[in-house]
Amino acid sequence: MATIRDVARLAEVSVATVSAVLNRTSYVSPELTKRVNAAVRQLDYSMNRLAQSFQTGTTRTIGMLIPATANPNPYYGEVVRGAEDYLRKRGYVVILGHTYNQLREQSRYIATFRSRMVDGLLLFPAPGEDAEMEKLLESKRPVVFVGRNPGRPVADVVAADVRRSTYLGINHLLSRGHTNIGLIIVKRSLSVAEDRRRGWQEALSERGIAADTSWVIEEELSAKAGENAALQLLEHQPRPTAIFAANLVFITGILRVLAANGIQCPGEIEVMCSDDAEWLDVFQPRISTVVQPSYEVGVRAAELLLKRIQHPRRPFETILLEPELRIRH
C-alpha cells in the first residue's frame, strides 16, 4: 500500500503539505493541492484513519441519531443533509443511525459510537431515561441535542421554535374564522409536545377563546395514529372546523379519514401542519403549512458541535430557529 511519504515524494511536497490537503487543516495553494490530489489518484492512496486516530486522539467522525427517514416527512433527511454538508467541508464523516424513537436502539447506538471513538454526537433524543445517555453526558463527550430540548442544561441544543410554529399555524386558522381547532401532537416527544400545547393555548388566549384540552390528541408517530386522532376529533361535539397536525405523517391519516367520511377539505374541515414538502405545491387539497428550517437546523447543530469539540468548557447554548408560515390558498 502507498504511504503518505510516497504521495509527498511523487507530488514533490512535504508530508505536512499532503496532510494539510487531505485533512483540510490549513490553507494550501491551488497548485500544490492539485499536485497532491493527482499523486493520491495515481498511487490510489487511502489514509489509514485508524492509525491516524491513535496518533491524534481524534477520528474525524461524528455520530448522528435520528428517529427515521422512511415516511412522507422530509424533515429529518433535510436536517441530516445540512449537518453532513457542513461537516464534510471540514473533513468529517457522519455515521448515521435510526432509533425509531426507541430507547433500546438509542442505547445500542450510543454504546457503538463510544466504542468507535467518534469525536462528537448529534442526537434527536428518544423520550425516557437512558443509562447510556447518562454515561455519555457524565463523561463530558461533545453532544448536541437536535430538534428536542431535554429540559435540563446538560448539553447544547439546536431546534426549530416549535411553540412559535404552532402559534403561527393556529393564529392563521383563527384569522380564517375557525374557533373549534383540533391539535394532534406526538406522544412522548420531550419538550416538543408541551411547546405545541403552549403555542396552541397562546394563540387561542389572544382571541379570548378558552383552551379546551379535549381538543388536543396525543398519538404515536404514524399515519394510522393520524387516522385514530382524526376519528376521535370527528366524534367531538361540536365537530372541529380545522385541525392542526404536528407533521405530515399525521396528515396522511387525517386526509384518509376525511375522504372516507365524505368530508370536504378545506370546505368543511381545514387541515394544516407543522411540516412542509415540495409535493404539497401540486397536491389537492391545498394545505398550508408552517415550514421548519430543517436544513439550517442541521447546519447550526454541526457548527455548534465543532465549537464544543474545540472549546469543551464553554457554556451550553440553546438555539431556536424561526419557522415560516406558507399559505397555499
Question: What's 81's domain CATH number?
Answer: 3.40.50.2300
Q: Is residue 100 part of a domain?
A: yes
Q: What is the pLDDT of residue 14?
A: 92
Pair 187, 255 in one domain: yes
Q: Is residue 112 part of a domain?
A: yes
Pair 205, 277 in one domain: yes
Pair 73, 128 in one domain: yes
Residue 72: all three cell numbers together = 412522507
Pair 170, 265 in one domain: yes
First to last CA, the chain: 62
Q: Is residue 268 part of a domain?
A: yes
Q: Is residue 197 part of a domain?
A: yes
Pair 230, 139 in one domain: no
Q: What is the pLDDT of residue 320?
A: 94
Pair 179, 276 in one domain: yes
Residue 289 contacts residue 276 (beta carbons within 8 Å): yes
List the chain residues with pLDDT less than 70: 47-57, 69-73, 151, 188-190
Q: Give the CA-trace dihedral at 99, 101, 106, 108, to 10 degrees.
A: -60
CA angle 265, 268, 274 (to 5 degrees): 50
Question: CA 84 to CA 298: how far, in whole Å?
Answer: 8
Pair 211, 242 in one domain: yes
Q: What is the pLDDT of residue 26?
A: 83
Pair 85, 201 in one domain: no
Q: What is the pLDDT of residue 44?
A: 85
Pair 37, 64 in one domain: no
Pair 225, 209 in one domain: yes
* Domains in the chain, number: 3
State the number of CA atoms in the 13 A half-sphere of 67 facing the CB.
19
Q: Is residue 224 part of a domain?
A: yes
Q: Is residue 241 part of a domain?
A: yes
Pair 196, 264 in one domain: yes
Tell me which residue of 186, 281, 194 sits closest to 225, measured CA to CA: 186
| Residue 53, SS3 per DSSP | helix
Quote the strand ranges of the chain, DSSP E.
Answer: 61-66, 93-98, 120-123, 143-146, 156-160, 181-186, 216-219, 242-245, 270-273, 288-291, 318-321, 324-326
Q: What is the pLDDT of residue 107?
A: 93
Residue 269 to residues 174, 176, 246, 257, 290, Cα–Cα distance (Å): 13, 12, 17, 11, 18
Please give the backbone phi and psi of residue 277, each rounded to the nearest 5 degrees, phi first.
Answer: -155, 150
Give the residue numbers spanning the domain of 186.
162-291
Pair 128, 271 in one domain: no
CA angle 322, 327, 329 (to 5 degrees): 170
Q: What is the pLDDT of residue 301?
A: 98
Q: Exposure pattern of 28-41 as b/e (b: 16+ CB <10 Å)?
A: beeebbebbeebbe
Question: CA 309 to CA 47: how far, in whole Å?
Answer: 22
Residue 97 contacts residue 65 (beta carbons within 8 Å): yes
The alpha carbons of the chain give a radius of gyration, in whole angstroms, of 24
Q: Is residue 52 part of a domain?
A: no
Q: Is residue 67 part of a domain?
A: yes
